[in-house]
């Protein structure tokens, strides 16, 4: 089966599982759970949903039991959204990747503190933007708020044959 189709099905499985866990499951054991990713087998018969669970070890075990008991409910929600010949059987797997990354960050911070380094590290969010960076629009550029017929950034309006002005590439002046 094509890999892009498997990726799309896996994304639907992840999305349905995440929204169902977050908003629709009423089991008190199922809390503090984040769905990190989903993998679907090539024949669409099985799906692995990786979850990160915050809390004590006992809370994590209880949450996994609650998820296993709720798997049928999540599959019924998936059946309404996914129109394929076979419905993947969902199994939940505890993903410790988030906890490991937090632990590594803590260890690195301790090591940096021991060495006496005081360099500031730029914190970048999910969009790749420095969280301390503030965009001040005081350079006098006008911004089109409605997204109308304004040319895209980095383009000039070039007269076209027929009298219409269309955005075109900016070219360097000839010497």
What is the SS3 string spanning the chain? Answer: CCHHHHHHHHHHHHHHHHHHHHHHCCCCCCCCEEEEEEEECCCCCEEEEEEEECCCHHHHHHHHHHHHHHHHHHHHHHHHHCCCCCCCEEEEEECCHHHHHHHHHHHHHHHHHHHCCCCCCCCECCCCCECCCCCCCCCCCCCCCCCCCCCCCCEEEEECCCCCEEEEECCCCCC
Q: What is the pLDDT of residue 41?
A: 96
Q: What is the pLDDT of residue 116?
A: 85
In the predicted structure, residue 85 carries a pLDDT above the cut 60 = yes
- 97 confidence band (pLDDT: 50, 70, 90): confident
Q: What is the pLDDT of residue 117?
A: 73
Q: What is the pLDDT of residue 1?
A: 67
In the predicted structure, residue 157 carries a pLDDT above the cut 50 = no
Residue 112 phi, psi dihedral angles, 5° rounding: -65, -40
Q: What is the pLDDT of residue 119?
A: 54
How far apart, in whole angstroms, are the C-alpha atoms of residue 30 and residue 21?
Answer: 7
How far apart, in whole angstroms, are the C-alpha atoms of residue 141 and residue 145?
Answer: 12
> Which position has the higher pLDDT, 116 or 41?
41
Nearest to 33 by CA among 84, 98, 109: 98
Nearest to 24 by CA among 70, 93, 64, 83: 70
How far apart, in whole angstroms, are the C-alpha atoms of residue 15 and residue 10?
Answer: 9
Instruction: Check: CB of residue 78 under 8 Å from CB of residue 87.
Output: yes
In the predicted structure, residue 33 carries a pLDDT above the cut 80 = yes
- The residues facing 40 across adjacent strands are 47
> Which position has the higher pLDDT, 98 or 16?
16
Q: Determine if the pTM surpasses 0.75.
A: no
Domains of the chain: 3-96 (3.30.300.20)
Length of the chain: 175
Q: What is the pLDDT of residue 99?
A: 82
32 alpha carbon, distance to own chain's centre: 17
């Amino acid at each position: 089966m094509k890999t892009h189709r498997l990726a799309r099905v896996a994304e639907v499985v992840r999305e349905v599982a995440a929204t169902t866990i977050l908003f629709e499951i009423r089991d008190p054991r199922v809390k503090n759970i984040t769905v990190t990713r989903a993998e679907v087998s090539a024949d669409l018969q099985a799906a692995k949903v990786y979850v990160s669970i915050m809390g004590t070890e006992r809370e994590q075990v209880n949450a996994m039991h609650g998820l296993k008991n709720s798997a049928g409910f999540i599959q019924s929600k998936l059946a309404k959204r996914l129109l394929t010949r076979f419905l993947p059987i969902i199994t939940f797997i505890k993903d410790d990747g988030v906890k490991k990354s937090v632990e590594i960050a803590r260890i690195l911070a301790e090591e940096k503190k021991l060495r006496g380094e005081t360099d500031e590290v730029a914190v970048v969010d999910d969009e790749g933007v420095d969280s301390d960076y503030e965009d001040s629009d005081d350079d006098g550029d006008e911004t089109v708020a409605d997204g109308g017929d304004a040319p895209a950034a980095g383009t000039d309006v070039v007269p076209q044959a027929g009298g219409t002005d269309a955005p075109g590439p900016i070219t360097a002046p000839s010497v």
